[in-house]
Homo-oligomer: A and B are copies of this chain.
Amino acid sequence: MDEIVRINSDLPPLRRLPLAGRAGEVYDGILKAVLDHRLMPGMKLSEDEVGAVFGVSRTVVRAALQALAFEGIAEIFPNRGAFVAKPSTETAKQVFEARALIEPELAANAAGRLSPEDLEGLRQHIEREHAALHAENQGEAIALSGAFHIRIAELSGQAVLTGFVRELISQSSLIVALYWTRRETTCESDDHGALMEAFSAGDSALARSVMRDHIERLRDGLDLTDRETRPVSIAEALGRVMA
């Protein structure tokens, strides 16, 4: 309770839009808990309970939950309540397909327009990633890795696509929580470092291909076999039972 959850303020925000008043704090708190894997996929987010935790009324909680739902972090079922999203393996595949389509393009665009300060900032960011890895701080490492991708998107100057990347990164954290296999724990293989080289050289084509390979490697670290595909609709569920 007295452990203050600190979010490094120099990291790019995961939230796309400003939320009125305290709703932003609730949003950040829940998101942080999800990314830290303290709130696991499928857990119920009762409005009363959340409100009690943050000391706000259900009105505020509902705004925060709606915002989380829009970014795919929570799922809201009318008259049933909100739950931490539990992306299916199919959704997981699609999230990484989307990333593989969008992020290489943004990396290529960024490569041509980075200032020396931008490059230095990215270098320092990678330093912190390495520090977190050596400290075996898994949660921090994942958060920093996501932030790196968002930073690159921001530096591409394409705000619209950057918004999509934010959403995809958040969902990726949920997906990692569900499907990550530690098999190749050193899988990081310094892909981010390789990206830095492309950026330093201002080589757009190289940045694009390095990013594409990187995202494929990330996806290959997941176990996306169809074992637990939940039915997405009542009709589908009934159809399966009847058949």
Contacts and interface: CB of A to CB of B under 8 A. Distances in A.
Interface in A85-120: 91, 94-95, 97-98, 101-102, 105
Given A76-B18, A102-B101, A105-B101, A94 B63 contact: no
Given A63-B62, A66-B63, A66-B67, A160 B76 contact: no
Contact of A76 (B20, B59, B102, B168): B20
Interface of A is mostly: helix
Nearest to A21: B78
Interface in A120-171: 158-161, 164, 168
Contacts of A160: 91, 94-95, 97-98, 168
Interface residues of A, number: 29
Given A17-B70, A18-B78, A101-B102, 20 more contacts: A17-B76, A18-B76, A20-B76, A20-B78, A20-B79, A59-B59, A62-B63, A66-B67, A70-B70, A91-B159, A91-B160, A94-B159, A94-B161, A95-B160, A97-B160, A98-B158, A98-B160, A98-B161, A101-B101, A101-B161
22 contacts: A17-B69, A17-B70, A18-B76, A20-B76, A20-B79, A21-B78, A63-B66, A66-B66, A66-B67, A70-B70, A91-B159, A94-B160, A94-B161, A97-B158, A97-B160, A97-B161, A98-B158, A98-B160, A101-B101, A102-B102, A160-B168, A164-B164
